[in-house]
Structure 1
Amino acid sequence: MLTVSFWLAVFSMTMILVFESIGLLEGLLPDTAKFRNAFRASSLTAVLSSVLGTSPTVAAAESAAGIVEGGRSGLTALVGGALFLLTLVFIPLLAYVPQAAVAPVIIITGALMMQHLENIQFQDFSEWFPAFLIIVLIPLTNSISTGLAFGFAAHPMMKVFTGRRHELGTLSYVLGVLFLLQLVFEAAQ
């Protein structure tokens, strides 16, 4: 716990969990009044999963399918969970699925995510360039956290360089500095 690499990993995972939860819950919950409870539930499950030694439990994009079909009471999640338990029997069969069969699904998922590019202000360089860095550097660095770090470090820097630092709050600058430090420490290792 006393190493820089440990804290870099903790910071990276925390930022990924936070932004993944924000993005997914914003897409799944049209009622912003429910955000607070949803974020509390998400943080509780993330803490519990770390105590149990499993990967973080977060809301999944697949939850949208249940919500669109009308599953809002929690019964959908319970049925889905029970069906996932049944699939444990088939896990050994996954060894027979080639990686090439998985790639098209990931590519299509990435392509579907591109529809949200319309929300980027392309007339403002200080807005679109950090988004461009994230989009390009995630696949080029083969790391979600590194791609996000470049974008989140670049955004406040772009605002400062263009003389528009008042457009961002203090938290954006704090995150920008932390992401920049992450990149510097990763490069030094």
Structure 2
Amino acid sequence: MREEEFLLERLFKLKENGTNVRTEVVAGVTTFMTMAYIIFVNPDILSATGMPFGAVMTATALSAGITTILAGFMANYPYALASGMGLNAFFAFVVAEQAGWQAALGVIFLSGILFLVLALTGAINILDAAIPQSLKRAVGVGIGLFIAFIGVKNAGIIQGDPATIVARGNFAAAGPALALIGLLITAVLMARNVRGSILLGILITTLIGIPMGVTKIAGSIVGKPASLAPIAFKLDFKGAFSLGFMTIFSFWFVDVFDTVGTLMGTASRANMLDEKGQLPRIKEMMTVDAIGTCLGAALGTSTVTTYVESSAGIAEGGRTGLTAVVIGILFLVSLVFAPLAGMIPTEATAPALIIVGVLMMLPVKDIDWSDFSEAFPAFITIAMMPFAFSISDGISAGFISYVVVKALSGKAREIHWLVYVLAAISVIHLIPGLF
């Protein structure tokens, strides 16, 4: 065994996990291909707040690269982390609209600190047991509708209308037409199970946009990464606290339960759970996720979370942190493609939001629709996110309706005391002048 192979074996226990260097590298490349779209999509979303596109791209790739490599070494699992879809849209179009992107970064950082404290103390397990499964699943579905709504809006597929609130866009215009073409192309790629479908869809749509006059050609596709100076360490904690606890809690809630769901779901399919059905070293993964969120906020990007696309690499045989290290290195290498990212129009990234929205619909089947005391709060949670254009309002409405319906239908014993507390906080969030 060569010296470098011996070192990798010692670090990642490849033989013990039934894998080898080649398999781990292939798995890492596979996962990166399926989630590399975030390098282009995240800056496109966050730049709507006034944050420089190039700086956000640098923060996105850098935070993803560092955090994923850290996960590989700390937890020895093949999971990738990057700025999460859904929360980036909530960051840009709701929180930053209210208090500015600096305050939004402050909220992200505080949610990361909360996550880190609860992960290190083990208190996160108490919250996990307290919150109803129906609400956990409803939150993911609601976020899917939320980002899909933003996708069709950014694409020009729908537009504001004073009479009907929203109306169909002008499909004869180049922008909406390109977005529709891109959406159909990406959908076909997804249906044919092509790896990296979303990334390929973005790139193909960008190319089609050149003769349509939508894509503006750059002089080069590689270049020096943009500076982080305009956005790094610009956290506004005073503005963050002015937004209230429920906003911070919403970012924390989604990050935590997305991560738990991703880890347990992918691990169970890959036989990575122990005899008790638990994931060994889950505390280390949660800790890394929390650190990533704090790091991302400090650098200038939205919540960093564990990606479900990690399942693509796991399906290729990835079982150790070496897969994660490969993914992280590829994110760092992607920094030199800043000019290419600048070419990609919103009409090419909007279909990605819609497709991700579709993928987030899956948990709706696990909600118990036969029990109205579970179904109604879940529906309210799902509906309020796109209709009120706010993830935190959806979560708040879900907790309140859950407590009211359960308590008044004779099922008060099914409500954990922590849910009562969260419902009370939710009332204050939705009606701030009540007390």
Output the TM-score relative to the length of structure 2.
Answer: 0.39
Alignment of 1:16-27 (within 5 A): 16-27=254-265
The separation in 2 between residues aligned to 1:112 and 1:55, in whole angstroms, is: 21
Three-state SS of the structure 2 residue aligned to 1:58 is: strand
Kindly state the Cα deviation for residue 54 of structure 1 after the two structures are TM-superposed.
Answer: 4.7
1:33 aligns to 2:278 (yes or no): yes
**CA gap 1:72/1:180 in 2 versus in 1, 3 angstroms:** farther
Q: Which residue of 2 aligns with 1:66?
A: 313
CA contact (8 A) 2:250 2:391 kept: no
Q: Which amino acid aligns with 1:10?
A: I
Kindly state the Cα deviation for residue 44 of structure 1 after the two structures are TM-superposed.
Answer: 3.8
Length, aligned pairs only: 187
1:120 aligns to 2:358 (yes or no): no
The separation in 2 between residues aligned to 1:6 and 1:145, in whole angstroms, is: 11
Q: Which residue of 1 aligns with 2:292?
A: 45
Q: Which residue of 2 aligns with 1:108?
A: 355
1:5 aligns to 2:243 (yes or no): yes
Kindly state the Cα deviation for residue 151 of structure 1 after the two structures are TM-superposed.
Answer: 1.7
Max Rg structure = 2
Output the TM-score relative to the length of structure 1.
Answer: 0.82
Q: CA RMSD in A?
A: 2.6
**CA gap 1:52/1:110 in 2 versus in 1, 3 angstroms:** closer
Q: Which residue of 2 aligns with 1:177?
A: 424
Percent sequence identity is: 37
CA contact (8 A) 1:21 1:39 kept: yes
Three-state SS of the structure 1 residue aligned to 2:359 is: helix
CA contact (8 A) 1:16 1:145 kept: no
**Structure with higher helix content:** 1
Query: RCO (CA 8 Å, sep 6+): is it higher in 1 or 2?
Result: 2
**Cα deviation digits, residues 126-185 of structure 1 (max 9, x gap):** 111122122222222232222222223322222112120111211222222223322223
Q: Which amino acid aligns with 2:289?
A: S
Structure 1 residue runs of 5 or longer lacking an equivalent are none
Q: Which residue of 2 aligns with 1:145?
A: 392
Kindly state the Cα deviation for residue 121 of structure 1 after the two structures are TM-superposed.
Answer: 1.0
Q: Which amino acid aligns with 2:430?
A: L
Q: Which residue of 1 aligns with 2:90?
A: none
CA contact (8 A) 1:153 1:179 kept: yes
The separation in 1 between residues aligned to 2:245 and 2:330, in whole angstroms, is: 37
CA contact (8 A) 2:406 2:412 kept: yes
CA contact (8 A) 2:289 2:304 kept: yes
